[in-house]
Structure 1
Amino acid sequence: MEKFKQLKDLIAAAEEDAAKFYEKSNGAAGTRLRKAMMDIKNAAQEIRNQVTEVKNKEK
C-alpha cells in the first residue's frame, strides 16, 4: 500500500506544473510535467509488478 501512496503523492506534486503548462503555456513547467509523468509511469509499473507477484504467491 506504501507504493500506492507514493503514486498518489507524485500525481499531487505534478498538478501545479500541469496547471502552469496548460493554463499559462509555461514551457519549463511542461518539461517538469513530462519528467513527473515518467516517474508516475515507473511507479505504476512497480505497483503492477508487486500486485502480480502477490497474486502469484497466493496460487
Structure 2
Amino acid sequence: MDKFKKVQDLITSAEADVTKFYDGRNAAAGTRVRKAMQELKNLAQEIRSEVTEKKNSAK
C-alpha cells in the first residue's frame, strides 16, 4: 500500500511540470516529466509483482 501512495504522490508532484511542458513549452519541465514517468513505470512494475506474488501465495 505504501508504493501505491508513492505513485499518487509522484503524480501529484509531476502535475505542475506537465502543465509547464504542455502549456508553456518548457523543455526542462519535459525532462522532469519523463523522469517522473520512468519512476511511475518502475513503481507500477513493483506493485504488479507484489500483487502477483500475494495472489499466488493465497492459493
TM bucket, shorter chain: over 0.9
Give the aligned partner of residue 14 of structure 1.
14
Partners of 2:30 and 2:51 in 1: how far apart?
31
* Amino acid across the alignment from 1:24: G
Identity %: 61
Cα distance, 1:28 vs. partner? 0.4
Q: Helix, strand or coil for the counterpart of 2:40?
A: helix
Cα distance, 1:15 vs. partner? 0.4
Q: 2:5 aligned with 1:5, yes or no?
A: yes
Q: CA RMSD in A?
A: 0.5
Give the aligned partner of residue 25 of structure 2.
25
Name the TM-score, length of structure 1 as normaliser.
0.97
Q: Which runs of 5+ in 2 are unaligned?
A: none
Q: Which runs of 5+ in 1 are unaligned?
A: none
